[in-house]
Amino acid sequence: MDELLQALVEGILIGSTYGLIALGMGLVYGVSGIVNFAHGDFILLGMYMCLGLYSALTLDPYVSLIITLPAMTVVGALVYRFVIRPIASHHLLMVVQLTLGLTLVIQSGLLMVFGGQGQRTPSFVEAKLFVVGDIVMRGPHVIACTISFALAGVLFVILRSTDVGRSIRAVHQNARAAALMGIDVGRVQTIAFAIGIGILAIAAALLAPGASIQPSDGLRYTVITLLVIVLGGMTNFVGIMLGGLIIGCSEALGTVYLSETLGGLLPYAIFVSIMLFRPRGLTWGTS
Amino acid sequence: MMRAELWKTLRSPLLWVVFAIAALGPLEMSSYYLHVATLALIYVALCSAWNIVGGIGGQISLGHSLFVGAGSLLASALLLKLGINMWVGMLIAAVLSGALGAVIAWIDFRFRLGHLSFALITLAFAEMAEIVAIGWDFVGGASGLLLPRDTGDFFAFQFGGGRGSYWAALTVAAICVLANLAILNAPLGYWLRCIRDNEDAARAIGVGVLRTKMLAMVISAMLTSIVGTVYARYLAFVDPYQLVSPLITIEIVLFATVGGLGSAFGPALGAVVLLPLGEILRGKLGGVLPGLHAFVYGLIVIATIMLSPRGLLPLFSSWLGGKAAPESKAPA
Amino acid sequence: MGYGSVPVLRGVSLHIAKGEIVGLLGANNAGKTTLINALSGMVVPMSGRISLAGADVTRLPAKARVRLGIIQVPEGRLVFPEMSVRENLLLGGINPTARPRRASELERVLDLFPRLRERFSQRASTLSGGEQQMLAIGRALMAGAKLLMLDEPSLGLSPRLVQHIFEIIERLNAAGLTILLVEQNLLLTLRYAARCYVLERGQIVVEGTADAVRSDPRTRSAYLGL
């Protein structure tokens, strides 16, 4: 029983960050209709930036956000504006291949600069443990969960109550009507993409402390994000966070209860089961 | 009417010139370029087979590595573990793949999957297949299988390596491209494109959606499996991490899309351009700095797409001032 | 001018004086929506000029035209379905010209359309057709419309509602708003518009005062395709 609870707690802790990451992708998909295959690789980019900044300036990953957040947001805006947007009106699959090219560039770039063996970024919270009853929780995980939920909340408020957020929702709900209201649809899409990448910078800082990373990890995060976002109904806020928790827990339960190989299978099996019976994902109501 | 289109394409002199060059090329090539060309042809076959569902059908299947795996691992295992002739093994794997394909198509229909769901569910199946293959000793587990040396015994499914394997690859490539041409010019192709462009409208005018999708998937799966067997024979070492992995799917979809989805020659063109590019980059830059060749490759892919977002084939056709490929539309 | 390489409008010349209600008539596919989209900046003309109060706006992007007060109420209303009436209206006033006066404009619009005040927090998708039309017009007013272009406002509405909407349009015009009315409904438009143009297959076949257009036999044939 304890084992189960421990696994569930870990699943929730990591799943909340999966949800946050997927919200970033959902934002971009809702506004420009594209799926960024390099999503996971941007996370790795952020994590390696934390590593680099630690090596150079002994900055804790959370502190290096001061640099990585604006840097990645700007990079995101530039990449969208000059590489992706010109192609965004074409076949979705072609855009996906473009982002696949980005995956190769980022992944290999990281490989060239940092090498392929696993490396980890230390952090002052690395060894901290939170103990509640018989459940042990690692410091970085608790921080990640808290900030993920908080950030999701902030994002929700921004979308609901600010003009920028309303513009984003307007473009998502009816791009033509939005344009008729004088909204610059292209600019809103660029902003949404930049926000999405900014979220990834934060997620990277949350995931980095103590974790061993390799450039090829990006694909894994991309696949997880895809599973979460489809489970969540593509643009449904609550659905996506819930999807994140489900995938997080499936992963955790899989590794604890099943063998190494079968454990990896569980998230996929659960994904397929849910999708077959709810093809629109975990949505209720709309949007 | 459509039959006439097919004959017209087949009579095109350009097509025969290309085929002649392809057939006679190996007489002049060094073994390295022969190897690259053989691989390119294998991918021409794989991409063309995938195109039947992915391009013409508009259904993005990310599970085709399943069929490659069946054709390669299963046929090899049947030979090595049960002594079954590889021709027979190839057929068994093809039938099995066809059945799997039919099941997948049925699932898609029964559960009304959207395009993204279909893509991810097929991906999920493919990932699961990889995990299963790596854990299953009969098909070689994590260490793979080693096929007996290729001595050119045709009845044992051996082509003699070198030129013989090249011509085998050329044969399957031609078969797959011809299959595309045949389908595009037959009612099946028409129905597939109707479904691709507007499934509800297609259903409303009486197109048998389940039957059409299933047929396309079965053909695609069987062809892919057959190519998988030839591929395994060529490589001789059957590595599940290479042949049953989503990576092979990524390559197939990349080449097919960049080449020009939905047309008969687009995916082939994509494979012919991008695969050798990748191999040669790996050869020249692979040792210089790990990752450099992939980095350059990624940049070239990005540049290619930005310069020719509708695919390479439309670019090509306009140079030759000729037949435009059927436009493919984005899924809803 | 047209979409892709197929010309839709040919040699069209339109003049709208300040404070007028001008009607643009024609059967389906005559090119009316293309014309209104060109004025909004959603479609770029292959040739020709568009000017507002003497200034050439042909090359001006859509968002700049909105700032100048050229606002389109599109066919089908196109309200933001998942947003409340309040949010739809707030979005109307999002452009930099209208933004400063947004709060006061909101009150004005709600006074004009009391029904919207009733439904203030409701999702736009739950509104009836007539209410959505009011919302769409209200949204356009929030955007600071100086030239209000309505594409088929009567579409799908009951005669009584249509009457109500048109009375409001007349009131707005009386208060100084210039209006371009694009409609299939011949008689209704002729009643409210001072001058009219009739489009047929991309060309203007009749133009003049409402009376002149009404009695012109070419008007009828443009609609019936004779």
Please answer yes or no on whether A184 and C63 come within 8 Å at the CB atom.
yes
Per this entry, what is the length of chain C?
226
| Range B199-214 average pLDDT | 84
Looking at the predicted structure, is the pLDDT value of residue A248 above 90? yes
Q: Is the ipTM of this complex over 0.95?
A: no
Q: Domain residue spans in chain B?
A: 2-245
Per-residue pLDDT reduced to its tens digit, A170-195: 999 999 999 999 999 999 999 999 99
Contact present, A8 and A249 (Cβ < 8 Å):
yes
Which amino acid is it at A109? Answer: G
Sorted by where each starts, the structural domains of chain C and their CATH numbers stand as 1-69+146-226 (3.40.50.300), 80-144 (no CATH)
Alpha helices in chain B (DSSP H): 2-11, 13-24, 31-51, 65-69, 75-82, 86-110, 115-135, 162-184, 187-197, 199-204, 209-235, 240-243, 246-260, 266-285, 292-307, 312-319
Question: What percentage of chain A exceeds 90 in pLDDT?
Answer: 62
From the CA of C63, how many Å to the nearest CA of chain A?
Answer: 4
- Mean pLDDT is highest, among A7-11, A280-284, B141-145, C10-14, for A7-11
| Range A48-55 average pLDDT | 92
Question: What percentage of chain C exceeds 70 in pLDDT?
Answer: 95
From the CA of B161, how many Å to the nearest CA of chain A?
Answer: 32
Which has the higher per-residue pLDDT, A42 or B6?
A42
Q: Which CATH number fits domain B2-245: 2.60.40, 1.10.10, 3.30.2000, 1.10.3470?
A: 1.10.3470
Residue closest to A100 by CA, chosen among A38, A178, A57: A38
Per-residue pLDDT reduced to its tens digit, C33-64: 888 888 888 888 777 788 887 788 888 888 89
- State how far the Cα of C2 lies from the Cα of C43, in Å rounded to an integer: 8
Please answer yes or no on whether C81 and A176 come within 8 Å at the CB atom.
no
Residue with tokens 């998909």: A29
Residue A163 in contact with partner chain C when CB distance is under 8 A:
yes
- State how far the Cα of A113 lies from the Cα of A105, in Å rounded to an integer: 12
> Which pLDDT band, with edges at 50, 70 and 90, does C29 fall under?
confident
- What contacts 24+ positions apart, CB below 8 Å, involve B106-110? B106/B210, B106/B214, B107/A276, B108/B59, B108/B213, B109/B209, B109/B210, B109/B213, B109/B214
Q: For chain A, percent helix, then strand, then coil, each to nearest 5? A: 75, 5, 20
> Which pLDDT band, with edges at 50, 70 and 90, does C14 fall under?
confident
pLDDT on residue A261: 67
Number of Cβ atoms within 10 Å of the Cβ of A255: 17
Q: Which residues of A touch B135 (CB under 8 A)?
A: 261
pLDDT on residue B332: 36
| Range B124-142 average pLDDT | 85
Instruction: Count CA atoms within 13 Å of residue A18 on its CB side.
Output: 33
Residue of A nearest to B60 (CA): A93
| Range C178-189 average pLDDT | 86
pLDDT on residue C106: 92
Q: Which of residues 83-102 of A touch B (CB under 8 A)?
A: 83, 86-87, 90-94, 96-98, 100-102
Which of C72, C81, C82 has its CB closest to that of A180?
C72
| Range A34-43 average pLDDT | 94
Please answer yes or no on whether A181 and C79 come within 8 Å at the CB atom.
no
Looking at the predicted structure, is the pLDDT value of residue B31 above 90? no
> Which pLDDT band, with edges at 50, 70 and 90, does C220 fall under?
confident
Pairs of residues, one from chain A and one from chain B, whose beta carbons lie less than 8 Å apart: 130
List the structure tokens of B189.
Answer: 């192709």
Per-residue pLDDT reduced to its tens digit, A94-152: 999 999 999 999 999 999 999 888 888 888 888 888 888 888 888 899 999 999 999 99
pLDDT on residue A101: 94
| Range A47-51 average pLDDT | 94
Which of C80, C87, C90 has its CB closest to that of A177?
C80
